């Protein structure tokens, strides 16, 4: 089932980093929604990637705050927001992941549909340098200058002494020189600027997630027709091939509706777990 309930309506996108560039098309094409960006939105009030302003709570909380701020500023009933975090892959510590969340809020129906995309493709990294030679090598690795960087003195992290959004070599060089002198340990800290408009790799991940969210919103609940019907959790218990004992492997996808709480179990009907995963056959 598909939804036309959002056709011709407006949705507020709380961003000051140009995310409308990648959200407008998916929302329009899939749902007929027009993306509106509030004129004055201070999303840095919710903290920054660099850490000089601390983030209050989990990424999910920040995400919901941002979306509600967009609603408040525009007076609209539909809102969108995105929030990313970057950390080492739990199973592969040398790989950094870009973990993006996106929410769609419908205040009239009382929905907030959250979609997530974890991408292993990101240039997120940081380094401490004491010379220009180290700097050049770092800049090559992080796809500079199409991707911007941030420079600060190594011994301090304050909002008034930080050079952000640098995508010109001379500007980086100047900032590094200043920070080398200013830092007590004669070291400059450089990191990738992860704000979407300065990081095309991240912007592409956000675009993919926007399409994923739009597809989700098109799915209607088979019982109450609310939009956003889809995967809400997974359950383990895939039976062993030889003895049928439930294993730790995934067996069910639970698809659900936020409005009426209807849930549907989707079972892996043909798959069976290898004996290697079975606590009975392979204790």
The residue among 11 and 240 lying less far from Zn ion, judged by its C-beta, is 240
CA distance 158 to 52: 5
Instruction: For residue 216, give every residue at least 6 positions away whose Cβ sits within 8 Å of its Cβ, in sequence order, or none.
Output: 113, 115, 228, 229, 230
Select from 6-14, 51-59, 142-150, 236-244 the region that touches Zn ion (CB under 5 A): 236-244
Our finding on whether 221 is near Zn ion (CB under 5 A) is yes
Contact pick of 149, 196, 226, 238 for Zn ion (by CB under 5 A): 226
Least distance CB 204 / Zn ion (angstroms): 33
The tokens for 58 are 């989990």
Closer residue to Zn ion (CB): 86 or 277: 277
Comparing CB distances to Zn ion, the nearer of 195 and 255 is 255
> Considering only residues 250-269, where is the footprint of Zn ion by CB under 5 A?
257, 259-260, 262
Which among 146-154, 188-196, 197-205, 240-248 is the span making contact with Zn ion, rule CB under 5 A?
240-248
State the number of binding residues for Zn ion (CB under 5 A): 15
Euclidean distance between CA atoms 233 and 252, whole angstroms = 9
**95 is a contact residue toward Zn ion (CB under 5 A):** no
Q: Using CB under 5 A, pick the residue from 111, 188, 219, 240 that binds Zn ion.
A: 240
Nearest Cα residue to 46 out of 23, 69, 80:
69
Residue 63: which of 111, 135, 15 has the closest Cα? 15
Residues 211 and 203: their CA atoms lie apart, in Å, by 13
Strands 10-13 and 34-36: parallel
Q: Per the structure block, which two tokens stand in for 40?
A: 């004055």
Which one of 120, 223, 231, 271 is in contact with Zn ion (CB under 5 A)?
223
Residue 113, φ and ψ in degrees, nearest 5 = -95, 120
Q: Which residues bind Zn ion (CB under 5 A)?
A: 221, 223-224, 226, 240, 242-243, 245, 257, 259-260, 262, 278, 280-281
């Amino acid at each position: 089932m598909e939804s036309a309930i959002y056709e011709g309506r407006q949705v507020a996108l709380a961003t000051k980093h140009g995310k409308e560039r990648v959200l407008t098309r998916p929302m329009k094409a899939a749902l007929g929604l027009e993306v509106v960006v509030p004129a004055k939105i201070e999303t840095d009030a919710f903290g920054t990637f660099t850490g000089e302003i601390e983030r209050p709570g989990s990424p999910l909380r920040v995400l919901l705050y941002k979306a509600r701020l967009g609603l408040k500023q525009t007076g609209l009933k539909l809102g969108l927001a995105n929030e990313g975090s970057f950390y080492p892959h739990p199973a592969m510590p040398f790989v950094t992941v870009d973990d993006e969340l996106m929410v769609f809020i419908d205040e009239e129906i009382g929905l907030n549909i959250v979609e997530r995309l974890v991408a292993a493709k990101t240039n997120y990294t940081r380094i401490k340098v004491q010379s220009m030679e180290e700097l050049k090598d770092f800049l090559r690795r992080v796809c500079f200058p199409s991707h911007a960087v941030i420079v600060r003195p190594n011994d301090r992290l304050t909002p008034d002494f930080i050079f952000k959004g640098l995508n010109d070599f001379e500007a980086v060089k100047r900032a590094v020189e200043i920070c080398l002198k200013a830092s007590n340990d004669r070291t400059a800290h450089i990191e990738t600027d992860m704000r979407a408009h300065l990081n095309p790799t991240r912007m592409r991940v956000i675009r993919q997630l926007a399409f994923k969210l739009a597809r989700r919103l098109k799915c209607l609940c088979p019982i109450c027709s609310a939009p956003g019907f889809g995967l809400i959790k997974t359950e383990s218990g895939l039976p062993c091939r030889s003895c049928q004992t439930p294993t730790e492997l995934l067996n069910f996808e639970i698809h659900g509706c936020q409005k009426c709480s209807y849930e549907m179990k989707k079972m892996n009907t043909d798959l069976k777990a290898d004996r290697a995963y079975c606590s009975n056959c392979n204790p």
